[in-house]
């Protein structure tokens, strides 16, 4: 895929966005459990020792999968993980895909169930398109802060550089990302409204 640009290089006018609508078929829902372990270890010698038990936690993820059958018969497979979106067979759904002009493909960013009027965003795809504050500026600021802080033997200088980066992110980068997010949401909702106006929603048996 083409190289990903930084947040400061992205523009709302660069969005490539379209919608696919159809009837949900073959819908299924299931859960998976992830187990995480951290800590633990220790030392035991001839005189005894200290052993700490590992901390084990678990988290559950809900998965949804269904086929979106368009009016022309084409089927699109949709799989979701950790996205709260309820759908059953027979519901009419609009899926919105978006990307940037230089991208080779678009990602599923929004879903709307026309029978329940429930909408959902797909966070992983959303972040791909909107982006995050410039990571190179972050690493550059950290490296500069550590280097000058050590050379000048001044924690105050270190704190000032980190504060400058935080201010830049809050006042410059974050507003740009917010504009991108608002434009993406606005255009997605416009497509959803257009699809809703084009079709009659039939009752589901």
Q: Which two tokens stand for residue 175?
A: 């507003």
Task: Determine contact, residues 82/61, Cβ cutoff 8 Å.
Answer: yes
How far is the C-alpha of 90 from the C-alpha of 70, rounded, in Å? 12
Percent of the chain residues topping a pLDDT of 90 = 39
- Mean of the pLDDT values across residues 62-77? 94
103 pLDDT band, cuts 50/70/90, is confident
> Of residues 146 and 66, which shows the higher confidence score?
66
**What SS3 state is found at 122?**
coil
Whether 2 has a pLDDT exceeding 50, the answer reads: no
- Mean of the pLDDT values across residues 149-169? 65
Whether 57 has a pLDDT exceeding 80, the answer reads: no
pTM: 0.69
How far is the C-alpha of 76 from the C-alpha of 78, rounded, in Å? 6
Mean pLDDT (the chain) is 78
Whether 198 has a pLDDT exceeding 80, the answer reads: yes
């Amino acid at each position: 895929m083409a190289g990903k640009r930084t947040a400061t290089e992205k523009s709302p006018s660069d969005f490539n966005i379209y919608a696919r609508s159809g009837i949900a078929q073959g819908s299924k829902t299931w859960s998976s459990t992830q187990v995480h372990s951290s800590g633990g270890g220790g030392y035991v010698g001839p005189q005894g020792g200290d052993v700490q038990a590992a901390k084990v936690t678990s988290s559950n993820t809900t998965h949804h999968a269904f086929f979106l059958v368009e009016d022309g018969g084409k089927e699109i497979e949709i799989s979701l993980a950790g996205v709260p979106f309820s759908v059953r067979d027979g519901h009419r759904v609009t899926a919105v895909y978006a990307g940037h002009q230089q991208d080779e493909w678009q990602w599923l960013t929004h879903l709307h169930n026309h029978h329940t009027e429930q909408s959902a965003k797909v966070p992983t795809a959303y972040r791909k398109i909107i982006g995050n504050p410039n990571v190179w500026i972050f690493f550059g600021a950290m490296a500069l802060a550590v280097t000058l802080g050590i050379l000048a033997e001044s924690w105050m200088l270190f704190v000032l550089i980190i504060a400058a980066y935080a201010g830049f992110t809050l006042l410059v980068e974050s507003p740009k990302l917010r504009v991108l997010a608002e434009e993406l949401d606005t255009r997605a909702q416009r497509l959803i409204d257009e699809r809703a106006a084009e079709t009659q929603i039939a009752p589901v048996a």
